[in-house]
Amino acid sequence: MKFAISFFFSISAFATPINVLHENIEEDANIYKTILEKDYFVPSELIQIKQTRNCEEVKKKGKLDMCLKNNGDLIVVSVDREFINDSLKVFQAP
């Protein structure tokens, strides 16, 4: 999965921002941003941190959206698995 995410965001033609939303704890959202940058090699300009009132009210927006609740739970709001699978077809044997 680590490779899939790093490959997914390394193609600049398909690069869309990762939204890391938080209800009130921006410091913790920055920790997740750092993890995406260092462990998954996602460029920092592709990671957006935004505040929201309630994670449950967030609608599907992009290729990968996550929301950090006040209690510390991280919720994946949306993930475009079809796009990830299509992107990885490049590595299939002929």
Burial of 71 (0-12, 13-18, 19+ CB in 10 A): exposed
In the beta sheet, which residues pair with residue 68?
A: 22, 74
In eight-state DSSP terms, residue 18 is: E
- How many domains does the chain divide into? 1
Per-residue model confidence (pLDDT) at position 13: 43
Residue 93 domain-assigned (yes or no): no
Alpha-carbon distance of 87 to 3, in angstroms, equals 12
Q: Hey, is 79 helix, strand or coil? A: strand
Q: Could you tell me if residue 84 is inside a domain?
A: yes
Q: Which domain holds residue 12?
A: 2-88
Is 45 within a domain? yes
Reported as a single tens digit per residue, the pLDDT across 39-88 is: 877 788 888 999 988 888 887 667 788 899 999 898 888 887 776 566 54
CA–CA separation, 60 vs 92, rounded Å?
A: 29
Q: Is 67 within 8 Å of 77 (Cβ atoms)?
A: yes
